[in-house]
Amino acid sequence: MSNFQTIEFYKNKKKEYSLLPFRFECLGENNYVVTNLAGEHLIITRDALENLVRHKLNSSSADYVNLRAKHFLTDDKTQIAKELLSIKLRTKYSVLSEFTGLHIFVVSLRCEHSCPYCQVSRQSDDKVKFDMSTEVADRSIDLALRSPSKNIKIEFQGGEPLLNFQLIKYIVLASKTRGGDKNISFVIATNLALINEEILIFCKEHKILISTSLDGPKEIHNTNRPRPKGNSYEKAVEGIQLAREYLGIDSVSALMTTTQNSLGHVKEIIDEYLKYSFLGIFLRPLSPYGFALKTKTYAAYNADVWHEFYMEGLEYIIDLNRKGIKFREYYTSTILTKMFTSQEVGYVDLMSPSGIGIAAVVYNYDGSVYASDESRMLAEMGDNSFELGNVLINSYEDIFLNPKLLDPIEESFAFSVPMCNECAFEAYCGADPVFHHGVFKDFIGRKPDSEFCKRNMKIFKYLIKRMEHDPYVKKLFMSWAQPNA
Amino acid sequence: MEVTITFDANVYSSDAIKKAAYRSINKFAINIVNDGSNIKCSLTFKATTTESQIKSYVDEFKKEVLDQDLRESIKKETEGIRNLILAHTFSKTGLIKDE
């Protein structure tokens, strides 16, 4: 008798393996996407999924090897899988312990535009009533600097913040003086109509970035964004060019909002961004808040219509890249970063636990503090569910331990929300209690009825299928997953 | 319009059926009765739902019950590894005082 085992002994032996936590979702037909705790994904057939769960998967199969490599199962060869998964998870959630990094200062609610989808602004000359005071600014700076985060970003918003530029100057100088070893950066979100050399010289001196609005070509932009002389577009593009002369091309970014006027024109909108040498675009749907609801602009399109718009835009951008024109869609990039890396990009809508208060907080012109920009928009509709206190009377502890912040974060945490807790895309998605409260009057909502859920699920499935079918797209998307690449 | 579907209670749990039904909450209302050996589901559709839609929603529901059954098995086997995450959330905020 031989001292060696026969070849059959080693062949097709079913190894004992243990499952690691994972979720799955049907992609249509016989294909399923499986995602592990860190958000890594694979596509497998229904049979392979069934075999995996029933411990019938053959250890020599390609599925077994792939699933083991991506930490869906562990066997005697891969005891390190649990540790690797833990490290990836820890990296992903490490941003939470930094707490609030983005501090939004609403220095004035006044605006010279009267956009129908605008959430908050007022057309008024009453500076006392609608501008932030120095006292409110001082108290807000104190709170911002209490954040444990080493990196603090202060974003000036409005209304039109440049209507209260003197206060912006004050806040920049005061926060730098009082900031100690914090790295403080600044952004002004402005329509650029009031930009001038004096402002830009100050911005250059203090490395202040500019974020503006560009809704597309002249006709779309000016229809979306009415102002007295009907020249919002002209002001924006002149402002973009002037700001770039002083601050450099990378210091000026633009955002668009999709309205009914935008539908059917996504290519022209993207072309406009290319014309002004932007490196990408954020195809952004309207939110169900403020004037967008009151003026029925929000109701102009649903998740399906928006998805068509987004898909057409994304396909156009993919084709541009195929032709050698480097350009990206930023919402897609955010999702892809979550899919392919352990980085948390800190985009409030796509965070769970929710990013309200944790990733961003808003100090309103009158001293009231809101858990997010959308929270103050809800408040403008009379819903103060996310008003955390007032800087003039409340302490840091009062504000950040307020049940109005902690309850929605806890209740909406996707790990314990029906449907989200079993959803394969949970790692890419967010809790967004403010959206769901705005629509359903509770922090969770019924996900099968949620436009937020529908819109994002469609995108996740589309991106995964698109990569699966086209190696070029996969390579392109993997490059978009690197935010600074 | 009402459709009745019966599942074997020895094969499927009430939980799996409830979770599957939740995913279709926007398509039909459901009443679930478990008599120990069978789980009887009565699905009520809106008057505007067409016959072909009903057929597709019922098929979808049955497939979803199978998926939920798999999810249950995964959950049972992997429950212990899940809860390591939240501790990180407020760890460095300075908001948690020492006892």
Chain B residue numbers touching A56 (CB-CB < 8 A) = none
Beta-carbon pairs below 8 A across chains A and B: 80
Instruction: Tell me, yes or no, if B81 comes closer than 8 A to chain A by beta carbon.
Output: yes
- Which residue matches tokens 């392979």? A48
Q: State the DSSP H helix or E strand holding residue A380, giving kind and residue range, or none if neither.
A: helix A373-380
Predicted confidence pLDDT, tens digits, chain A (485 residues) = 557 777 666 555 556 898 988 999 999 889 999 999 889 999 999 999 999 999 999 999 999 999 999 989 988 887 777 777 777 877 887 777 788 889 999 999 998 887 777 767 666 767 778 999 999 999 999 999 999 899 999 999 988 999 999 999 999 999 999 999 999 999 999 999 999 999 999 999 999 999 999 999 999 999 988 888 889 999 999 999 999 999 999 999 999 988 888 999 999 999 999 999 999 999 988 766 655 555 555 556 777 888 999 999 999 999 999 999 999 999 999 999 999 998 888 888 888 888 888 889 999 999 999 999 889 888 888 889 999 999 999 999 999 999 999 999 888 888 788 899 899 999 999 988 988 888 888 898 889 999 899 999 999 999 999 999 999 999 999 999 986 65
Looking at the complex, does the CB of residue A202 fall below 8 Å from at least one CB of chain B? no
Task: Tell me how far CA of residue A326 lies from CA of A56, A280, A320, A323, A470, in angstroms.
Answer: 46, 8, 7, 9, 18
Reported ipTM: 0.80
- B82: contact with A, CB 8 A cutoff: yes
For chain B, give the percent of residues with pLDDT over 70: 80
Contact A86 B84 (CB under 8 A): yes
pLDDT confidence of residue B88? 45
Question: How many other CB atoms sit within 10 Å of the CB of residue A229?
Answer: 10
The pLDDT score that the predictor gives to residue B90 is: 43
Is A89 close to B93, i.e. CB distance below 8 A? no
From chain A, the residues in CB contact with B95 under 8 A are 397, 400-401
Q: What 8-state DSSP symbol labels residue A213?
A: E
d(CA A237, CA A233): 6
Instruction: State how far the Cα of A474 lies from the Cα of B86, in Å rounded to an integer.
Output: 33
CB atoms A22 and B71 under 8 Å? no
Say what the pLDDT of residue B24 is. 95
A449: chain B residues, CB-CB within 8 Å: 25-26
Q: Which of A21, A50, A86 sits opposite B70 (nearest CB)?
A: A50
Show the domains of chain B with their CATH numbers. Answer: 2-80 (3.30.70)
Residues of B whose CB is below 8 A from A82? 81
Structure tokens at A172: 């920049």
User: Would you state the pLDDT for residue B86?
Assistant: 42
Domain ranges of chain A: 7-92, 99-403
Give me the count of residues in chain A: 485
Query: What mean pLDDT do residues B75-99 have?
Result: 57
Return the residue of B nearest to A18 by Cα.
B77
Say yes or no for a CB contact (<8 Å) between B71 and A422. Answer: yes
Q: Are residues A21 and B94, on separate chains, in Cβ contact within 8 Å?
A: no
Percent of chain B's residues with pLDDT above 90: 73
- Paired sense of beta strands A387-390 and A360-363, if any: unpaired
Side-chain-side CA neighbours of A226 within 13 Å: the count stands at 7
Rounded-to-5 percentages of helix, strand, coil across chain A = 50, 15, 40
Which DSSP string do the residues of A119-160 spell out, in sequence order? Answer: SS-B----HHHHB--HHHHHHHHHHHHHSS-SEEEEEEESS-
Q: What residues of A are in contact with residue B19 (Cβ under 8 Å)?
A: 418, 422
Query: What pLDDT is recorded for position A358?
Result: 83
Facing A148 at nearest CB: one of B19, B73, B94: B94
Chain A residues in contact with B63 (beta carbon < 8 A): 26
Any CB–CB contact under 8 A between A22 and chain B? yes
CA–CA dist A123, A75 (Å, integer): 66
- Bigger pLDDT: A320 vs B81: A320
**pLDDT attached to residue A472:** 98
Residues of A in contact with B93 (CB under 8 A): 97, 99, 148, 400
Pick from B22, B24, B81: CB nearest A418: B22
Cβ distance B19 to A54 less than 8 Å, yes or no, reads no
C-beta atoms of A448 and B74 within 8 A: no
> Shortest Cα distance from A97 to chain B (angstroms)?
5
Closest residue in B to A89 (Cα–Cα): B85
At A229 the pLDDT is: 86
Q: How far apart are CA A193 and CA B49, in angstroms?
A: 52
Give the pLDDT band (50/70/90) at residue B99: very low
pLDDT value of residue A91? 81
Tell me which fold the domain A99-403 belongs to. Answer: TIM Barrel (3.20.20)
Give me the pLDDT at residue A33, please: 97
Chain A residue whose CA is closest to B70: A53
